[in-house]
Chains A and B, each alone.
Chain A
Amino acid sequence: MTSIETNGLTKDFGELRAVDDISMTLPDGGVIGLIGPNGAGKSTMIRMLLGLVAPSSGDAEVLGQSIRNPSAYLARVGALIEAPAFHPSLTGEENLRLLATLGGHPRRRISGVIETVGLTGRERDRYRQYSLGMKQRLGIAAALLPDPDLLVLDEPTNGLDPEGIVEIRQLISDLGADGKTVLVSSHLLSEIQAACEWIVMIDRGAMVFSGPLDDLLGIAQPTIRAAAEDQYRHHDLIQIAEGAGFHAVLSNDGVEIEAPATWAADLNRLAWHAGINLRELQVVANDLEGAFFAMTGTGSKGVGK
């Protein structure tokens, strides 16, 4: 079973190719992370899947229906697209009532989703009075209104405080565990790593990875971090690493070496022989950030929507 299947999906805006020939098959159920640098094409991709933007070529199916006919599947889809957008002079509850009426959803769901996202007690405040975090929660509540089989959340933790981030992450995980498919786009790679089992990575419009998170983490080299007691010996540490055939760079008052975890003991021994006393030596486990940089070749500033 697949939730989303794309076949050569492409979108051009004039001369700019925003999404370039993406073919992928995403599983049904569970949490899927969509990541990529700013301007990678994630939002355009999401908009095509939701019928907001017409593809230039290629096709896709969402919940088994072609995106050329979005009315066939959007009743089973909930979405938060980029920043939440509501009518500022209506209350949170009125905005949800408007959407429930529009979508033909039972009104009794409104109080339920308000409670789910933690807006109880503030639902009668006008939307314009909401903080960024409350707006975000209302956006997620709106996405949950149809009790969707597929939930598409673009930057769902934007503006949330740490407690809110944990709550929403838990909510996303629970929805995935309940058998729903949740497609989450976020620039917080740690959040994606904590919540997602499947990752889609897009860079400059093209897909660079689609598969289980564990497979992606296996691609990136683990890192050994070492720091000498005498910081002037860090260059010597780099020479030792490079002499053994590993890439090493200065980083935060230490050295980061792309090498297998097992080489840490060799480094310790080689440093001792060279007269270098180490005050720090640790193996940094693979994470999504490392994999992201390995796949996209970008620096940390490139991470985004």
Chain B
Amino acid sequence: MRVFRSEWIKLSRRATLLGFGGAIVGFAALITVLMFLGAGGTDIGTDEGRGPGALASAATLSLTDGSVFAVTRVATFLTIIALALFASNLAGEFSKGTIRMLFVTEPRRIKALAGKLAALASFAAAWVAVAVGVSIALGAVLASSAGVDTTSWWTAEGFAAMAGAYASLTGAMIAAGLIGAALAMLTRSSAISISVGAAYLMIVEPLVGTFWETLGEWGPAAAFGALADGGTTSIGYSVAAALTIAYGLVGLVISSGVISRRDVTS
């Protein structure tokens, strides 16, 4: 708990709040505005909007999960932000040399790692909540001008969709963050861990996945995206959730293994 609280002193810095929090909320707000301003048509489908650049139709946004349709579209981006947050935090401890003070003050390394990861996870979860809230509020404001009927949003099913989207996005971000943590522990470099992680999630897996179906269906990026989408045609929601948990656990095991054995010579 002490590690958790001390970590939040760092996370409460304005630069971190505005940098990571602002990016999560800002991007969710941007995609929501673009989606609602470009929405139109009555067919349910993402390409049936008012113009060629439309991201969703008004009919799609009028469904029970229409309130979170926009924010769940940016899951990949949010997972990369989470990966960067976890990786920069942990790798930064090595590059700044503060890992020495951390381990001298809290020598139980697994406990120190758990406290740090819990703080980072709570930070990500808090900002996802804000991002989902802002996206829903913006959608509600823009709905009438976009011809979106929000009646179904405020039903029990609609609220369940909001809660489900929040849980799925948070889960995907934490799992991506744990992979970022593992990369940081292995490389001890923010730049390398973030660029390797982001390049894999954004470029390598989608690209290779087009040729190698297994990776496209079972890889981390596919699992995170499917989880945030509530399941896809190739990966069901429960499979995506199981895969996300598995990838998160792999990241956790690697981080724990490295941190408990590695000599601190930096």
Spell out A's residues near B (CB within 8 Å).
13, 47, 50-54, 70-71, 74, 77, 79, 81-83, 85-90, 94, 97-99, 101-104, 142
Contacts and interface: CB of A to CB of B under 8 A. Distances in A.
Contacts, number: 73
Contacts of A13: 265
Contacts of A77: 104
Contact of B107 (A51, A86, A142): A51
Contact of A51 (B13, B15, B101, B103): B103
B105 A74 contact: yes
Interface in B67-117: 96-98, 100-108
A237 to B, nearest CB: 50
Contact of B104 (A52, A86, A97, A104): A52
B102 to A, nearest CB: 7
B156 interface: no
Nearest to A88: B96
Nearest to B12: A94
B265 to A, nearest CB: 7
A178 B105 CA distance: 23
Contacts of A54: 263
B18 to A, nearest CB: 12
B9 A101 contact: yes
The B interface, classified by DSSP as helix, strand, loop or mixed, is: helix
A27 B97 CA distance: 30
B9 A90 contact: yes
A84 B77 CA distance: 36
A94 B14 CA distance: 13
B108 A53 contact: no
Contact of B6 (A51, A52, A53, A99): A99
A102 B264 contact: no
Given A47-B264, A88-B96, A94-B9, A102 B3 contact: yes
A52 B9 contact: no
Contact of B13 (A85, A89, A142): A89
Given A47-B263, A82-B100, 8 more contacts: A51-B104, A79-B100, A81-B100, A86-B101, A89-B15, A99-B105, A101-B5, A103-B2
B104 A71 contact: no
A101 B100 CA distance: 16
Given A47-B264, A87-B10, A99 B101 contact: yes
A102 B107 contact: no
A47 B265 CA distance: 8
Interface string B3-44: 101100110010100000000000000000000000000000
Nearest to A48: B263
A52 B98 contact: no
A85 B97 contact: yes
Nearest to B8: A101
25 contacts: A13-B265, A47-B263, A47-B264, A51-B103, A52-B100, A52-B103, A52-B264, A52-B265, A71-B107, A71-B108, A81-B104, A82-B97, A85-B98, A85-B100, A86-B96, A88-B96, A90-B10, A98-B6, A98-B9, A99-B105, A101-B2, A101-B9, A102-B3, A103-B105, A103-B106
